[in-house]
Structure formats: C-alpha cells, structure tokens
Amino acid sequence: MIESYDELNLSQDDSLEQVDAKLVEKLGITLSYLQHSLSEYMQKKSDSLAKEFVNIAPNGDYINILEDSESISNFLKSKASSPENFKLREIKLNATKNNLVSFEFSNAAIDNGDSCTGFAYVNFAGKLRHSFVKGELDD
C-alpha cells in the first residue's frame, strides 16, 4: 500500500522487470495481472469492440486486412486478446482521481500496435478498480 504516487519510485529508465518488482513491492500486483484483466475484457467484449474498428491488420500484416465485424471479432477474441499482446505504454497518476494509478497498454497484435489501447486503474491499496480496452475509430 502506498499513500502517494511518488512512493512507487518509478523512473523512465526502469526496465519492465524493475517496474514489475516495484509494483509487487508497493502495490502487491504484477503487470501480468493487469494484462490478463485486459485479455479477459477483450474476449468478453470482442463483438462490441469489433464495431470500433473500420478494419484491422493482424500483427501489422496489411496484406491480410480484416474488414468485416465477424472476422475482426474472431481475431480480437482468439488472437489479439492474448495477454502477451498488451504492452505497457505508460504509468501515471490518474488525472481526475488522485488516489488511482493509471496504466496504459498498447496491443501489439492490432495494426502496428497503435490502434488499440488498454487501460487499467489501480488504487493505492493495490486493488484493480477498473480495466477496459478501447479501439480507435477512423473518422
């Protein structure tokens, strides 16, 4: 448990292993735990998430682009939802609730890894308060 975000003592120079060790020590959680929560969300919500995409290039393969909702949903559920595809992008103090740590993940299996974002919010006691995945609609 921590009383302020600064107690995490995170640095831009920290490796993923160092970040994970600090999270375990200070909050009692791992990055893997957060990745699994995002994976579960994506599997459960694949049909509605599919509607957030005009198309998807699986693993950046634009030759085999998926354009219909059923194919996109199946890809999200079966391949993209793998926990290992959620790559940590950023950790910061939540802008609106100053007792939450915000974790932002990209999904490496979708396009070039920049079209889908996972969010996880953990309180200072180390409890996961909310996690979800968001696709990006093209206007």
pLDDT, tens digit (0-9, with 9 covering 90-100), for 63-89: 999 999 999 999 999 999 999 999 999
Residue 134 tokens, joined: 């968001």
Phi then psi for residue 133, to 5 deg, are -120, 140
What's the pLDDT at 139? 46
How many residues in total does the chain contain?
A: 139
pLDDT mean by block of 10 residues, the chain; 139 residues: 94 95 97 98 96 94 95 97 97 92 97 94 97 78
**Can you tell me the distance from the alpha carbon of 25 to that of 38, in angstroms, rounded to the nearest whole number?**
22
Is 34 exposed, middle or buried (CB count within 10 Å of its CB: 0-12, 13-18, 19+)? buried
